[in-house]
Amino acid sequence: MILDSKSLKALRRAKGEMNITTIALAKEIGVSRFSLARALKGQGITSNNAKIINNWLITQLLEK
C-alpha cells in the first residue's frame, strides 16, 4: 500500500516542522525506520503501517 499524496505531503511536512530524524520520527509514530523511510519515498508499505501512520497524522492535526 502506498500513502496517498495528501498523507505523504503531511508526513513530510510534519517531519520537517519537527526537525527530526527518520529514526526518531519512526519511534514516535510506532513503526520501523525502514517502513517510515519507504513511506517517505512514496514506496509501498503494509496496510497496517499505513493505518498507524495515518492515525498519527490525524492525531497531530487534531492537536494543532
Q: Domain containing 20: what range?
A: 5-63
Domain count, the chain: 1
Q: State pLDDT tens for residues 12-51.
A: 999 999 999 999 999 999 999 999 999 999 999 999 999 9
Query: Cell digits for 54?
Result: 495515518
Find the CATH number of the domain harbouring 30: 1.10.260
Q: Is the pLDDT of residue 54 over 80?
A: yes
Question: Which pTM value belongs to this model?
Answer: 0.92
Give pLDDT, residue 9.
Answer: 97
DSSP string, 1-64: ----HHHHHHHHHHHHHHT--HHHHHHHHTS-HHHHHHHHTT----HHHHHHHHHHHHHHHHH-
